[in-house]
Structure 1
Amino acid sequence: MGLYQRWRRLRFPGLQTCRLRTDRKAVRTPPHWLAERLSLFEELWAAQVKRLASMAQKEHRTIKITLAGGQKMDAVAWNTTPYQLAQQISSPLAGTAVAAQVNGEPYDLERPLETDSDIRFLTFDSTEGKAVFWHSSSHVLGAAAEQLLGAILCQGPSTECGFYHDFFLGKERTVRGLELPVLERICQEFAAAAQPFRRLEASQDELRQLFKDNPFKLRLIEKKVTGPTATVYGCGTLVDLCRGPHLRHTGQIGGLKLLTAEYTRRGFLEVKTPTLFSTKLWEQSGHWEHYWEDMFALQSPGSGRPVSNPGDHSTSPPTDTLALKPMNCPAHCLMFAHRPRSWRELPLRLADFGALHRAEASGSLGGLTRLRCFQQDDAHIFCALDQLEAEIRGCLDFLRSVYIVLGFSFHLALSTRPSGFLGEPCHWDQAEQALQQALEEFGEPWDLNPGDGAFYGPKIDVHLQDALGRPHQCGTIQLDFQLPLRFNLQYKRQAGTPERPVLIHRAVLGSVERMLGVLAESCGGKWPLWLSPFQVVVIPVGTEQEEYAREAQQSLQAAGLACDLDTDCGLTLSRRVRRAQLTHYNFQFVVGQKEQSERTVNVRTRDNRRLGERDLTEAIQRLLELQSTRVPNAEEMF
């Protein structure tokens, strides 16, 4: 069995019997050059590893590292990597970093540092971090296309909101529709295998030998490689000419969704282009099934402005948006209107966390509570008049459940028809009665604000107070008769006659940034366990317990908890415990000789409560239980 076959059977055992039928012919086995190229790469990689190890042993010198905030650290030339430094700084940083900038140049996290360096870590929140993430994802698609289709790869760049990969299948060959699900599954399995990205420096002769069967790469080598060497990245079976940097391994990618295949021309040869977008989300929820028919609706013919429809996860994280806008309401109306609707689809609920923009005067801006660009948990519910009261009750119940978890009390106010209202008075009367009935059944106190409603409909405003007693209007439930009229929204009733829906605008958090600011002031730095960025710190008593402390930290992190390790030998145990309390770690796990021998931890809280010795596994399980129930006082309930 060859090298490629051994690796493939080890990593993807389910693919041994995976046969894709197209035109009653099974997909052919991977081409011979795939195994040959991988074998040569492994040979060159082994030589490079040996060479770097010899260089590190020969020089063995200390280099100086300067971080973005001015912090200084020591490292060992040709040995220490940016990822190791990130681990020393904090576990959350090591978990979120996708690459680094070293002396202003992009750099792999697992590439050893060579000289004194200024380092900045890149996360997905930055433009550069997104490019690294998506470009690494394109390598996964390239590897899958080589395995399944025997594709000859051309280029796989990142774009502003995702990535694609060009490859060539032959002049008469295209990507068939039945092949897309199989190609997607191989991508997902490849990502889940957590294959490392390995950076190899190769000479021009070695490059030509590696890519002797790929005319695209040979042309790039001829035109772009002007120096004696260039970089090649290996990842699983894939070996590709690339400048990098890349993720540490494919397991950081998460989920991948293959949307479509397109035919295109790139430069000098015909290529077939499947376009793949990443759907890695902060939370894994829902079903990521994409329906191309409902993917986009155009605002008007020729406008060129797309509006994402439900199920579109072509951007990541999900709060990204396709266009700058002052509100989400018109976009959701367009989604409703872009095809005929039936009474069976109502109520239709759409949500959008997209970025909104308002031209606030500079003097009115204030921290997180008033911004020009912010995100709002907008939801729009299209329903029939007889569904109105039930939908309002559902909105109120949802609002109460969220505010209870966040620890806020709130006050409700019903604002009714203003003097300059638009629409039919009978509709206003019916809507106000529905809102009032829902409020009375809700059971919370509320006030009446006569004439304070919007011109397009009555509303329920939700007010809360921050830690300084200042009121904030955050959540809202508004009825709207005008947008359905102005966008000519209709649905067919059961009898077949057209009817206009009622629109409910609903926001629970309101401005996410404003809510975060109010919540931060309310917590005063002492975040509840389920929301805390500093959940646990493990503190060894002495250097003899550092190995066990690191093992405890890894167990906590493997369970999904945010955990750091404090091995600062320059401070006494009491000073390190005090520092953890001032940092507001919810819990400190102190481990000494006794805890190490019995595999336990000594638990303390940020309020200096000593909870005593607990079994490590049981302590982790208890933390997970407290986190999942989102209790505000986990330290007292531990």
Structure 2
Amino acid sequence: MIDHRRLGRELELFATDPLAGAGLPIWLPAGAAARHAIEEYLRDLERRAGYQHVHTPPLGRRELFETSGHLGYFAAEMFPAMRLGESDDELMLRPALCPHHALVYRARGRSYRDLPLRVAEIGGMYRAERSGVLGGLSRVRAITLNDAHNFCALEQVGQEVSEILRLIRAAHDALGVRPAGVRLSRRGPGEYVGDDADWAWAEELLRAALDGEAYTEAPGEAAFYGPKIDIQVVDAAGRESTISTVQLDFDKPERFDLSYTDPYGARRRPVMVHRSLVGSMERLFAYLIEVHQGAFPPWYAPVQLVVLPVGGDQAGAATELAGLAEAAGLRVEVQVSGSLGARIRDAAHRRAPYVGVVGPREAADGSVSLRLRDGRGLEPMPVPAAVALIAEVVAGRGHHLRPPSRR
């Protein structure tokens, strides 16, 4: 098993540079393409599940994080405040997205008919991690989180958490995530917000949502504002980490004075459910690079089809094939320089799932010979059929290189 940092360099997925700073990786075109494919999938999955997407700023006034409790309980992991001039507000990089999502909720009055309100964002947040703990994509200072906050009535919590767990399973199946266990992270010794009754009730709600599923309990691993369900994975070095999480929060609705009007006109507090289907893009890719050893499922492979004309006379046919593939929404490259063998080896090194070879015979009859990443070669087939085969695999978001009916 090769470490994701080495594979990231070899496959040109991401880079680090002293000028950028420690813990601040730079996503290169190949890595960005894979990341964008996953982000688009997640937004679509969330949209179909009733989420509304927002954009919120990565900065906020000091008062925002005082209100949220982060400065009281989380200040050691936050970057120092910035002030541009004597008359300006102190601004801080946010360590989490939840304070801004609370502001989204209170942007207007809410009634019980609005609930559950599911607010989602793939947004940036920042942690002042010490240089000694930073490593590749697994521990960074600039974090892009697949985040959401579900505001709901107390009686809706169980259904919301169950639906979130269903979405987490769907995302994990599509991405090839292999969970190593489920953990109920509870309060332990230390500083936590809220009272004992709220904590006991929140923990009981999460236990009920996990009914029938194997899990372990982890006292002391809760967030400072509430208990959570953590989906664990183990990396190539055997280290366990959290990749997905569901957290209950009775505290922030109180801090931000969030409310809704119930059917009888009374003002009630919503419950705030924090959830991330796959965690941060950085930690997710550290895991995916290693578990797939860079050979991502075709739907989020950086380049899905590499087209290789055997000689210069076939360049036009290769370009036409690439155009049809691009029109079908595929990520495709045409490589013409070097010997055919060297170009095939380069495509294999880059873990391209499909290589299309166009020789004199293929160019003459409008066909292509497909080579699959697993070493199989297919008989020459008409170009439209080859493009349709790849597009079907990509659309199905499976992990095989051929559709189920053609394996």
TM-score range, shorter chain: 0.7 to 0.9
Q: 1:632 aligns with which of 392, 399, 403?
A: 399
Q: 1:415 aligns with which of 176, 180, 185?
A: 185
Partner of 1:392: 161
Match of 1:504 among 273, 291, 295: 273
Other structure's SS at 2:110 match: coil
How far is the alpha carbon of 1:424 from its aligned partner? 3.8
Q: What pairs with 1:19-98 in structure 2 (closer than 5 Å)?
A: none
Percent sequence identity is 37
Q: Which residue of 1 aligns with 2:389?
A: 622
Kindly state the Cα deviation for residue 461 of structure 1 after the two structures are TM-superposed.
Answer: 1.2
Contact 2:261 2:267 in 1 (8 A): yes
Q: Name the SS of the counterpart of 1:564 in structure 2.
A: strand
CA distance in 1, matches of 2:399, 2:92: 37
Aligned to 1:405: 174
| Mapped contact 2:56–2:123 kept (Cα < 8 A) | no
Deviations 1:520-563 (A, max 9, x none): 12222212110111211222223322221221122112212122
CA distance in structure 2 between the partners assigned to 1:295 and 1:354 by the alignment: 8
Is the Cα–Cα contact under 8 Å of residues 329 and 380 in structure 1 kept in the other structure? yes
Which position in structure 2 is the counterpart of 1:330?
99
Among 419, 439, 462, the residue aligned to 2:210: 439
Unaligned regions of 5+ residues in structure 2, if any? 1-27, 32-38, 49-54, 65-90
1:613 to 360, 380, 388: 380
Q: CA deviation at 1:621?
A: 0.7
Query: Closer, same or farther in 2 for the Cα pair 1:535/1:405, shift >3 Å?
Result: same
Q: Distance in 2 between matches of 1:544 and 1:616?
A: 17
Distance in 2, matches of 1:436 and 1:531, equals 34
- Note if contact 1:581-1:608 (Cα within 8 Å) is conserved in structure 2: no
How far residue 468 of structure 1 moved from its aligned partner, in angstroms, is 3.5
Report 1:27-426 matches (<5 A). Answer: 324-410=93-179, 411-419=181-189, 421-426=192-197
**Could you say which residue in structure 1 is the equivalent of 2:353?**
586
Instruction: Report SS of the residue matched to 2:211.
Output: helix
CA-to-aligned-CA distance 1:309-347 (integer Å, 9 cap, x gap): xxxxxxxxxxxxx98322111111122223322111111
The one-letter amino acid of 1:363's match is G
Partner Cα separation in structure 2 for residue 636 and residue 335 of structure 1? 42
Distance in 2 separating the partners of 1:330 and 1:564? 43
Per the alignment, do residues 421 and 372 of structure 1 end up closer, same or farther by CA in structure 2, a change over 3 Å counting? Answer: closer
Looking at structure 2, the residues matched to 335 and 556 of structure 1 have their Cα atoms a distance apart, in angstroms, of 40
The alpha carbon displacement at 1:423 in A equals 3.0
Q: 1:437 to 1:549 in 2, by over 3 A?
A: same
CA deviations on 1:483-502 (whole Å, 9 max, x unpaired) are 11111222111111111111
Structure 1 counterpart of 2:273, one-letter code? I
Cα distance change, pair 452–538 in 1 and its aligned pair in 2 (3 A) = closer
Aligned letter for 2:355?
Q
CA distance in 2, matches of 1:374, 1:530: 24
Shift in alpha-carbon separation, 1:282–1:636, aligned structure 2, 3 A: closer
Any residues of structure 2 matched to 1:409-488 within 5 Å, and which? Answer: 409-410=178-179, 411-419=181-189, 421-441=192-212, 443=213, 445-488=214-257
- C-alpha offsets along residues 227-261 of structure 1, whole Å, 9 cap, x if unaligned? xxxxxxxxxxxxxxxxxxxxxxxxxxxxxxxxxxx
**What's the counterpart of residue 20 of structure 2?**
none
Match of 1:526 in 2: 295
Whole-angstrom distance in 2 between the partners of 1:619 and 1:630: 17
Aligned to 1:556: 325
Tell me if the contact between 2:116 and 2:152 (Cα under 8 Å) persists in the aligned partners.
yes
C-alpha distance in structure 2 between counterparts of 1:622 and 1:392, whole Å: 37
Which secondary structure does the structure 2 equivalent of 1:351 belong to?
strand
CA contact (8 A) 1:586 1:635 kept: no
Aligned to 1:291: none
- The one-letter code of the counterpart of 2:209 is A
| Matched AA of 2:312 | T
CA distance in 2, matches of 1:377, 1:613: 42
Shift of 1:464: 0.7
Unaligned 5+ segments in structure 1 are 1-121, 126-280, 288-293, 304-321
Amino acid at match of 1:582: H
Amino acid in the other structure paired with 2:154: L
Structure 1 length-normalised TM: 0.48
- Residue 403 of structure 1 deviates from its aligned partner by 0.8
The aligned amino acid for 2:378 is: L
Q: In the alignment, does 2:264 pair up with 1:491?
A: no
Q: 1:519 to 1:546 in 2, by over 3 A?
A: same
- Tell me the TM-score normalised to structure 2 length: 0.74
AA aligned opposite 2:315: E
- Specify the SS of the correspondent of 1:461: strand
Name the SS of the counterpart of 2:370 in structure 1. strand
Instruction: For 1:610, give the aligned amino acid.
Output: G
Report the CA distance shift for 1:295/1:374 in structure 2 as closer, same or farther (over 3 A).
Answer: closer
Name the SS of the counterpart of 1:353 in structure 2.
Answer: strand
Distance in 2 between residues matched to 1:559 and 1:448, nearest whole Å: 47
| Structure-2 separation of matches of 1:543 and 1:325 | 54
CA distance in 2 between partners of 1:323 and 1:555 (Å):
48
Matched with 1:602 is: 369
The residue type paired with residue 324 of structure 1 is: L
- The one-letter amino acid of 1:343's match is Y
CA contact (8 A) 1:603 1:613 kept: yes
For the 8 Å contact 1:326–1:357, the answer to whether it is kept is yes
